[in-house]
């Protein structure tokens, strides 16, 4: 890393059903960013903790985890995909009001702007229909859901995540006083280009829009390109 380049921590917020482990391999793909994934309860090391079901509670918990884990690193970039995008947006508002933390930029991925909700919902559906609807939304189905025991373990947390996301409304009508980049998989059939670009409505500073190859879950295969985009934008 260039010695004159300020140290930057990339804080990652997961999509529905995912845990912090999804982002940990990213550390090997970048030298200029320190990857710091936040863990939602109800999965991985927090499997026995009740998952969040509303955004305000989730952001409060995530904020405490982030501030407690930053150490001396106070130059922060936020990234969130789908559910993680709205969590990152709300967390960004909290960080902007926090002394001694520099929010460099917010990267939102695979998400319409905060005031837009899906016309079709999955919350409250029977298990099979719920999973089919979620797979339709995500554009893929996790192989763990094919195993009955794993499905029984994962389903309550996935339901909580989807409920949180589908009931989300922005906490403030004020734009975010920080630059925003909205990223979309160019073949995403869930979030269209106009929806992704509409994040400009809540950008109080510079706004950028980018597309990378792939569908809604483009980041599973395009992580190197995504991290290059992020590093280039905050350098």
Does pLDDT of 88 surpass 50?
yes
Does pLDDT of 1 surpass 50?
no
Predicted pLDDT at 79: 98
Mean pLDDT, residues 203-232: 95
User: CA dihedral in degrees (45, 138, 107, 205; nearest 10)?
Assistant: -130
Does pLDDT of 146 surpass 70?
yes
Q: Where are the domains of the chain?
A: 8-234
Does pLDDT of 2 surpass 50?
no
Mean pLDDT, residues 52-80: 91
* Residues 162 and 214: beta-carbon distance below 8 Å: no
- The whole-angstrom separation of Cα 88 and Cα 211 is 19
Of 70 and 197, which is predicted with more confidence? 197
Q: What is the pLDDT of residues 21-49, one digit of tens each?
A: 999 999 999 999 999 999 999 999 999 99
- The whole-angstrom separation of Cα 107 and Cα 35 is 14
Instruction: State what percent of residues in the chain have pLDDT above 70.
Output: 93
Predicted pLDDT at 177: 95
| CATH 3.40.50.300 applies to domain 8-234 | no
Q: What is the pLDDT of residues 100-126, one digit of tens each?
A: 899 999 999 999 999 887 767 878 888
Does pLDDT of 184 surpass 90?
yes
Instruction: State what percent of residues in the chain have pLDDT above 90.
Output: 66
Mean pLDDT, residues 151-174: 89
Does pLDDT of 84 surpass 70?
yes
Average pLDDT, the chain: 89
- The whole-angstrom separation of Cα 166 and Cα 137 is 12
* Residues 8 and 34: beta-carbon distance below 8 Å: yes
């Amino acid at each position: 890393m260039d010695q004159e380049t300020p140290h930057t921590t990339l804080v990652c917020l997961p999509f529905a059903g995912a845990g912090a482990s999804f982002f940990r391999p990213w550390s090997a793909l970048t030298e200029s960013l320190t990857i710091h994934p936040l863990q939602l309860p109800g999965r991985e090391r927090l499997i026995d903790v009740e998952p969040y079901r509303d955004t305000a509670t989730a952001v409060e918990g995530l904020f405490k985890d982030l501030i407690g884990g930053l150490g001396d690193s106070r130059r922060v970039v936020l990234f969130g995909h789908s559910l993680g995008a709205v969590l990152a947006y709300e967390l960004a508002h909290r960080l902007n009001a926090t002394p001694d933390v520099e929010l460099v930029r917010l990267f939102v991925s695979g998400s319409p702007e905060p005031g837009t909700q899906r016309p079709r919902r999955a919350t409250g559906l029977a298990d099979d229909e719920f999973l089919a609807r979620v797979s339709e939304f995500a554009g893929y189905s996790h192989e763990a859901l094919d195993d009955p025991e794993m499905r029984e373990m994962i389903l309550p947390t996935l339901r909580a995540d989807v409920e949180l996301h589908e009931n989300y409304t922005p906490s403030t009508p004020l734009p975010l006083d920080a630059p925003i980049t909205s990223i979309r998989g160019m073949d995403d059939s869930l979030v269209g280009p106009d929806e992704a670009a509409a994040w400009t409505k809540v950008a109080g500073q510079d706004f950028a829009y980018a597309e990378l190859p792939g569908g809604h879950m483009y980041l599973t295969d395009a992580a190197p390109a995504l991290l290059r985009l992020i590093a280039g934008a905050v350098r």
